[in-house]
Amino acid sequence: MITRKRLAAGLCGLLVTLTGGLSPVAARADAGEPAAKEAPKVELVLDVSGSMRARDIDGQSRMAAAKQAFNEVLDAVPAEVRLGIRTLGADYPGKDRKTGCKDTRQLYPVGPLDRTEAKAAVATLTPTGWTPIGPALLGAAEDLEGGDATRRIVLITDGEDTCAPLDPCVVAREIAAKGIHLTIDTLGLVPDAKTRAQLVCIAEATGGTYTSVQHTDELSSRVSQLVDRAAKPVLTPVATEGADRCAEAPLLRPGLYTDREVFGQHRWYRVEVLPGQELRAAVSVAADRPVHRDHGVLLRASTLAGREIVRGEAAGDGRTDVMSTGLRYPRPDVDDADTDDGKPAAETVCLRVSNSFSAPAGVKTTPGLPVELSVAVVDGPDEAGDPAFLGLGRGWWLLGTLTLVGFLAGLLWGWISRWRVTVWRTN
């Protein structure tokens, strides 16, 4: 089950359609990100609790399968990745819950990988204690702090957290709300329904993925994929914070942005558009917790004075993971320059993101729902010479060609039919 497939699945389709070929490199540059990125950071968080003794993965224990998979993963880690390993439940075998829920430590520090040293550290592990997933995630987030690097936690566990009320799903949301772009991917070893639900929730909160694992080769393959993904991210979103009014909203350049929006809230952003340019924007809002059945998302473009220009909206009824919508605003070109220096003046377009999600009683409304906003500003179509000016793109010519071919085919078929009838009557 994929999660930012959920947040990004809706957005990606809109992003491809609306951005009109805006390259990831250009988007990153326009969003103000540095050209040279730090080495990506990944921390593998391994459950070493007592339940890992169970022998139900390819005839061996879950712990043995995890060690085998780790050895294969460590051999394949890209040189540019800074990798670390953290354990949970590895040291305390007793029954004192307070002590057991503190049982998490960094086994191997995040940094350049010494494969021999890392393998030796993993080889010493023995299934021991509790399952403090929440504390382990908090520890891993601290291990990955600092700098601009892509950050990823890969959690491998065979059971749900045993240290409530520190709910690991809430912990994941709080990590995501910090805006540090830390993704948590979860892998469940032979999971039951409760474990699966908790791991899905953790992954959803940070835009990560959830995978159910039944075999050793599945585990090593999936962890290797996630480490590689950290090394080769497609596009890193930029954290921003929308305002309550357009006049106070952040000015966005073309790129991909993330924010948080509480239930029923409006968030404002600003974009500048020159004459002859086209603004293309798309937004996705993820339901990363239980919500009521009726919900909707609105993306509205307006002038500084409040006049609506165009809107995109989506509504649903039933269970949903993400809702997405988008809009396009082609600003007309001008013959004469609008300013004293002879340059055309940019128009400030106010973008308002609204949602109509609501939550059942008992569901926390903070932090807000994850929002991803894509902004692109491209050269608009030339209405005099571009066949796309009617909104049909080059399909306008295709439509005309098909109409003509259909007309000629109809004439030919009618002539053949009349000829056959004449021949039949003659005979």
Task: Inform me whether the pLDDT recorded for 18 exceeds 60.
Answer: no
Contact 41, 151 (CB under 8 A): yes
Radius of gyration of the chain (CA): 27
Residue type, 326: G
Give the mean model confidence (pLDDT) for residues 114-127. 95
Per-residue burial over 272-295, b if 16 or more Cβ lie within 10 Å, else e, is ebbbebbbbbbbbbbbbbebeeeb
Give residue 287's pLDDT.
Answer: 82
**Per-residue pLDDT tens for 245-280?**
999 999 999 988 889 999 989 999 999 999 989 999
Give residue 338's pLDDT.
Answer: 53
Q: How many CB atoms lie within 10 A of CB 366?
A: 11
Report the share of the chain in percent with pLDDT over 90: 44
Most confident of 86-90, 362-366, 381-385, 396-400: 86-90
Give residue 128's pLDDT.
Answer: 93
Torsion of CA 410, 413, 415, 420, to 10 degrees: -160
C-alpha separations of 337 from 194, 211, 330, 345, 346 in Å:
64, 57, 18, 8, 11
Tell me the two tokens of residue 203. 């992954």
Task: Say how far apart CA 35 and CA 55 lie, in whole Å.
Answer: 48
Look up residue 102 and give its DSSP letter: T
- Full set of structural domains in the chain with CATH: 34-231 (3.40.50.410), 238-379 (2.60.120.380)
Nearest Cα neighbor of 253 from 157, 327, 349 is: 349
State whether residue 293 is helix, strand or coil.
coil
Most confident of 162-166, 197-201, 348-352: 348-352
Q: What angle do CA 28, 372, 174 make, to 5 degrees?
A: 105
Give the mean pLDDT of the chain: 82
Q: Is the dihedral of CA 289, 294, 300, 306 positive or negative?
A: negative
Give the mean model confidence (pLDDT) for residues 20-26. 42
Look up residue 258 and give its DSSP letter: E
Give residue 22's pLDDT.
Answer: 43
Contact 113, 83 (CB under 8 A): yes
Nearest Cα neighbor of 180 from 152, 220, 208 is: 152
Task: Inform me whether the pLDDT recorded for 16 exceeds 60.
Answer: no
Task: Inform me whether the pLDDT recorded for 8 exceeds 60.
Answer: no
Look up residue 58 and give its DSSP letter: T
More confident residue, 136 or 383: 136
Q: Is the dihedral of CA 292, 293, 299, 303 positive or negative?
A: negative
Kindly give, in sequence order, each residue whose CB lies less than 8 Å from that of residue 235, ignoring residues fewer than 6 positions away. 24, 27, 28, 256
Q: What is the Cβ-side half-sphere exposure of residue 76, based on CA atoms within 13 angstroms?
A: 15
Give residue 286's pLDDT.
Answer: 83
Give residue 15's pLDDT.
Answer: 47
Give residue 205's pLDDT.
Answer: 84
Task: Say how far apart CA 211 and CA 156 lie, in whole Å.
Answer: 10
More confident residue, 208 or 110: 110
Kindly give, in sequence order, each residue whose CB lies less than 8 Å from that of residue 419, ignoring residues fewer than 6 positions away. none
Q: Which residue carries 């239930």 as its tokens?
A: 263
Give the mean model confidence (pLDDT) for residues 377-394. 53
Tell me the two tokens of residue 311. 């809107």
Report the share of the chain in percent with pLDDT over 70: 76
Task: Inform me whether the pLDDT recorded for 30 exceeds 50.
Answer: no
Give residue 250's pLDDT.
Answer: 96
More confident residue, 167 or 230: 167
State whether residue 279 is helix, strand or coil.
strand
150 — pLDDT class (breaks 50, 70, 90): confident
Give residue 83's pLDDT.
Answer: 96
Give residue 34's pLDDT.
Answer: 43
Q: Which residue carries 């003509």 as its tokens?
A: 404
Give the mean model confidence (pLDDT) for residues 393-418. 62
**Per-residue pLDDT tens for 296-338?**
999 999 999 999 999 999 888 876 677 888 899 998 876 555 5
Give residue 403's pLDDT.
Answer: 67
Give residue 231's pLDDT.
Answer: 81
Burial class (CB in 10 A: 0-12, 13-18, 19+), 265: middle
**Per-residue pLDDT tens for 182-237?**
899 999 999 888 999 899 889 888 888 889 999 998 999 999 988 988 887 666 67
